[in-house]
Amino acid sequence: MPNAAGHERPGRGSPTGPRSGRGSRRRAVAGAAALLVAAGTLAACGSGGGGATTLTWYINPDSGGQAEIASRCTDAANGAYTIQTAQLPRESSQQREQLIRRLAAQDSSIDIMSLDPPYIPEFAQAGFLAPIPDDVAGRVTQDVVQSAIDGSTWDGKLVAVPFWANTQLLWFKKSVAEKAGLDMEQPVTWEQLIKAAEAQKTNIAAQGIRAEALTVWVNALIESAGGHIIEKTADKPEDIQLGLTSPAAVQAATVMHDLAASGVGGPAFTTSGEDANVTDFEKGSASFMVNWPFVWGRALSAVKAGTLAQSVPDDYGWTLYPRVDADKPSAPPYGGINLGIGAFSTNVDGAFQAAECIVSEQNQAYYFTTNGNPAAKASVYDDPEVIKVFPQAPVIRESLEMAKPRPQTVYYSEVSGALQREYHPATAIDPEQTGKKANDLISSVLSGDQLL
């Protein structure tokens, strides 16, 4: 699994934010990716409409899995269509920016898009996604985990085709957990983790960076405590009801505050994203970490490359996302990629056929085992091949069934941006006040009274 870190990006992109080594390199690659996209587009224009049989699939950068699936589906189509891929920028927020500007100009070259779930409502509401025929909708949701269906739904309708589904697990060093006397077979709470980390003089790697990753964390904490960032959505942005002052949100903010105040977030807590977190976890300065499953593949390929001792991944343990409330099951983050069909595509029917091929069980299993991106279809998790590569598969599946999406709203970008502004840095969170401030900020941003 080369470049294991590359593939889970869509579930967690960070709009801005300083990056660790790996993340930064990715952004450098983003420029090249943009060039590639431009080149792809020019090529599409040059071929005089490209013929109705060529479909362009805009993909998020991964380890090559989507390109391989595209060529497999092209072969399977027997000349009915050819799928070519065009690569989008690394960061999911930048993928959105690029796609949405092109779709606003009714770009007909966009047939299939790999979409990060939180942005799907925005695309759907703007009419940028071709409506999914009922028969297709029936087929592509069969046997699919609930969170992936939720993430592809807007306004009660399926608007995107579930492709792969991501979720965060709690990763821990078995040796340290044992020393701390934590029974990892049982659900653990954030409070227990913080205490254990303090006692063992180790860190908890969580995403304190001002980026999308922070929103993922805030949302998971609030949902785990039984609350919601958006209590009730509405057509008019100013009518959206927020839940950031609820007791659940206060409880969530308390966890963030406690983690930051106790110092167990590590010295670079407020600038750490997923990549920096893994580095800390691999180095050993952090012994607990909430992160996407890519960390497993990353460790294995580092061992293969000789940069990491085999004993490190051997000590990895994994379990469900920590609880906020000891009595309530946690609500792990949900991410992944779902496929949208461009509303201005000249071959919508062909694009739906291609999308159905792309999300087939075989392709999802292939994508899971080679690129480390967990499947949206539940049956893939029973595949012995998958379990061999990903011993975490059963836990991932369980986590996906419990996972809760980030707030589904047309104004996701604003909501997320405002949350990041108020909940960062976590060291400055006041559990009682921060939620209220974020509530006010989101409300006034949404009613157009404030900048972001």
Q: Name the site residues for other proteins (rule: CB under 8 A).
A: 14-21, 24-25, 27-28, 31, 93, 97, 100-101, 104, 122, 125-126, 128, 209-211, 267-271, 276, 279-280, 410, 413-414, 417, 424-425, 448-452
366 touches 64 (CB < 8 A): no
Residue closer to other proteins, measured from CB, 140 or 264: 264
| Closer residue to other proteins in complex, CB, 73/418 | 418
Sheet holding 316-319, edge to edge: 203-205, 286-291, 169-173, 316-319
Q: Is 168 helix (H, G, I), strand (E, B) or coil?
A: coil
Closest separation in Å from C-beta 19 to other proteins: 8
Question: CB of residue 300 vs other proteins: minimum separation in angstroms?
Answer: 21
- Give the span between the Cα atoms of 19 and 141, in whole angstroms: 36
Give the distance from CA 54 to its chain's centroid. Answer: 29
In DSSP notation, 364-407 reads HHHHHHHH---BSBGGGGG-HHHHHH-TTHHHHHHHHHH-BPSP
Residue 67 or 452: which CB sits closer to other proteins? 452
- Size (the chain), residues: 452
**Which two structure tokens, joined as six digits, stand for 388?**
């061999």
Q: Contact 398/163 with Cβ under 8 angstroms?
A: no
Measured from the CB atom, the residue of 70 and 419 that comes closer to other proteins is: 419
Angle at 437 between CA 19 and CA 244, to 5 degrees: 85
Measured from the CB atom, the residue of 62 and 91 that comes closer to other proteins is: 91
Beta carbon of residue 28, minimum distance to other proteins (angstroms, whole number) = 6
Give buried/exposed letters for 344-360 (b at 16+ CB in 10 A, else e): bbbbbebbbbbbebbbb
The residue (of 107 and 280) whose beta carbon lies closer to other proteins is: 280
Between 425 and 431, CB nearer to other proteins: 425
Q: How far apart are CA 91 and CA 28, in angstroms?
A: 11
- Minimum CB distance to other proteins, residue 414 (Å): 6
Q: How far is the CB of 420 from other proteins (least distance, A)?
A: 8
Q: Which tokens in the block code for residue 260?
A: 């930051």
Q: Which helix (H) or strand (E) holds 114?
A: strand 112-115
What whole-number distance in Å separates Cα of residue 427 and Cα of residue 367? 38
Taking the complex as a whole, the smallest distance from the CB of residue 20 to other proteins amounts, in Å, to 5
Q: Which of 212, 223 has the CB closer to other proteins?
A: 212
Q: Tell me the CB-side half-sphere exposure of residue 26, using CA atoms within 13 A.
A: 31
CB 129 → other proteins: shortest distance, Å? Answer: 12
Judged by CB, which is closer to other proteins: 100, or 387? Answer: 100
324 in Cβ contact with 189 (< 8 Å): yes
Cβ neighbours for 234, distance < 8 A, ≥ 6 positions apart: 240, 241
Q: How far is the CB of 35 from other proteins (least distance, A)?
A: 13
Q: From the centroid of its chain, how far is CA 201?
A: 30
Shortest distance (Å) from residue 410 CB to other proteins: 7
Q: Which region, left, alpha or beta, applies to residue 105 given φ > 0 means left and ψ of -120 to 50 means alpha?
A: alpha
**Nearer residue to other proteins within complex by CB, 10 or 65:** 10
Residue 393 or 410 having the CB closest to other proteins: 410
φ/ψ of 182, rounded to 5, equals: -90, 135
**Closest distance of CB 58 from other proteins, Å:** 17
Minimum Å gap between C-beta 447 and other proteins is 10
